[in-house]
Amino acid sequence: MTPESHASTGTDTSLPGPPPGCPAHGLGPGGLHRLHESEDLAGLYEQLRKEHGPVAPVLLHDDVPIWIVLGHAENLHMVRSPTQFCRDSRIWTPLRDGLVKPDHPLMPHIAWQPIASHAEGDEHKRLRGAVQGAISTIDFRSLRRYINRSTQAIVNRFCEQGEADLVGQFAEHLPMAVMCEILGMPDEYNDRLVESARDALKGTKTAIASHSYVMDVLSRLTVRRRAQPEEDLASFLITHPARLTDDEVREHLRLVLFAAYEATTNLLSNVLLTVLIDPRFRAQLNGGQMTVPEAVEQSLWNEPPFSTVFAYFAKQETELGGQRIRRGDGLLFAPLPANVDPRVRPDLKASMQGNRSHLAFGGGPHECPGQDIGRSIADVGVDALLMRLPDVELDCDEDELRWTASIASRHLVALPVAFAPKPPQDVTETPNHNHVPTQRSDWQIGITQPQPQPQPQPVPAAAQPQPAPAQPQPDPVPPQARPVAEEPARRKGVWQRFLSWWRGY
């Protein structure tokens, strides 16, 4: 279904739309749905799937036409076909034709930038290579320990009160604390940085000022690490053979910080909410039928951190999901409807345990390079919180929960909980590597087991021999000079090898 028209989705944008308040409100020119006016995007996606199939024409703000890709297979094909689709918005027909104004609400997401997620070809390899190279230096064993300590420190702030908001006091703080450590600025983590990041992502009236504050922090970090590199992601970006400029380093630090922060905050909130409101889910966790990492993957299927991603663009005329796609058309990558595609999940209540084929982290050349960081924060953070507050319960009716929704994501506003007050824990003590005493003898199967030596029996005083006259004794041989028979080296037992691996030796 692609009527002939100048519009990139094949719709006639010259037709007048219905006035606000009428039954057809939410529909734009050509009867297309305005995504930004929908109060139930998940329901709208299913309606579009029935009407148009796996690829549907819709409208953005200012009635800018675009396609939304609803099918799982179609989304995968799009992100894995760089010869047909790219993320360079400079070829987008509505932008070239002047339909997208500079002050368009989605311009910060769509406008082309010299960063890896928008680049192609050799430039994409250079920039993404630097990001992946820097991320590959992360020691995830040490990172998971840091996540656990950060979780304990954050929980210490409210554990004595017996109540908390797990979004504002936990889910929005833990990712920022961890990302500041990874980037190399742990001293910058504070409430102001958390609030500035949230404000910048919400797009409020003060969003520009908040964004400027975050960029100033990243600029100072770039200057410091250029002068004195250390063992952190910012330093590895700077010293990578790709030779990133200061502007490129700063922009990629911003990309990593904001993307990881927003995605992980939503992921933490969604997992904790499911644990609190779904008794079966919590019972599976408590009973051992499901681990926290498996619970995180289930959440990534049901409620991906980003509903849609802006945007892909057709480099040539093609066909996708039965729709004719023209060169210059824009397409929304949509993990939320793709993850519930009936062709992939005919039964939405069925467990997806062990299945990682969801699209929460994208795919293809632009697949999220930091997804393991997000998974680690969610896995360790949720597990540590539930271990610390095992009796935590939702402190409001489920229908009182509120979300702020946009085309890009759905963010839980607050998650009030109650629990028995707990004392703070000491998070300053660092793990030690003291020697662990031997748990058992060195005797192994196949070697003659040493027999205990008989103890000398006491001799009666009358039978004891009289001391002989003293004879000159040879000089004693110093202990270090005495020859010692070398014993063949024995291979460490399973337990000793495990301890050596665990300590990193």
* pLDDT recorded at residue 460: 53
Q: How many domains does the structure of the chain reveal?
A: 1
Per-residue model confidence as pLDDT tens digits over 352-409: 888 899 999 999 999 999 999 999 999 999 999 999 999 999 999 999 999 988 888 8
Per-residue model confidence as pLDDT tens digits over 125-156: 999 999 999 999 999 999 999 999 999 999 99
Provide the pLDDT confidence category of residue 10 given band limits of 50, 70 and 90.
Answer: very low
Cα gap 104→156, rounded to integer Å: 43
**Is residue 326 one of the residues assigned to a domain?**
no
* pLDDT recorded at residue 471: 53
**Is residue 135 one of the residues assigned to a domain?**
yes
| Residue owning tokens 């002050």 | 103
**Is residue 256 one of the residues assigned to a domain?**
yes
**Is residue 345 one of the residues assigned to a domain?**
no
* pLDDT recorded at residue 198: 82
Per-residue model confidence as pLDDT tens digits over 291-309: 889 889 999 999 999 999 9
Cα gap 57→385, rounded to integer Å: 43
Mean pLDDT of the chain: 84
CA 61 to mean position of chain CA atoms: 29
Provide the pLDDT confidence category of residue 102 given band limits of 50, 70 and 90.
Answer: confident
**Is residue 25 one of the residues assigned to a domain?**
no
Q: Where are the extended beta strands (E) located within 2-64?
A: 55-59
pTM: 0.78
Q: Report the 10 Å Cβ neighbour count for 265.
A: 28
* pLDDT recorded at residue 497: 66
**Is residue 162 one of the residues assigned to a domain?**
yes
Per-residue model confidence as pLDDT tens digits over 219-242: 999 999 999 999 999 999 999 999
Provide the pLDDT confidence category of residue 105 given band limits of 50, 70 and 90.
Answer: confident
* pLDDT recorded at residue 20: 44
* pLDDT recorded at residue 125: 94
Whether 97 shows a pLDDT value over 90: the answer reads: yes
Per-residue model confidence as pLDDT tens digits over 409-420: 889 999 999 999
Asked if 269 and 411 touch (Cβ cutoff 8 Å), the reply is yes
Between strands 330-333 and 65-69, the pairing is parallel
* CATH number of the domain to which 219 belongs: 1.10.630.10
Highest mean pLDDT among 101-110, 144-153, 251-260, 421-430: 144-153
Cα gap 105→93, rounded to integer Å: 18
Cα gap 178→60, rounded to integer Å: 35
**Is residue 133 one of the residues assigned to a domain?**
yes
* pLDDT recorded at residue 409: 87
**Is residue 187 one of the residues assigned to a domain?**
yes
Provide the pLDDT confidence category of residue 16 given band limits of 50, 70 and 90.
Answer: very low
* pLDDT recorded at residue 27: 84
Per-residue model confidence as pLDDT tens digits over 47-63: 999 999 999 999 998 99
Asked if 371 and 281 touch (Cβ cutoff 8 Å), the reply is no
Domain, as residue range, for 282: 121-309+366-418
* pLDDT recorded at residue 178: 95
Least confident range of 81-85, 93-97, 130-134, 189-193: 189-193
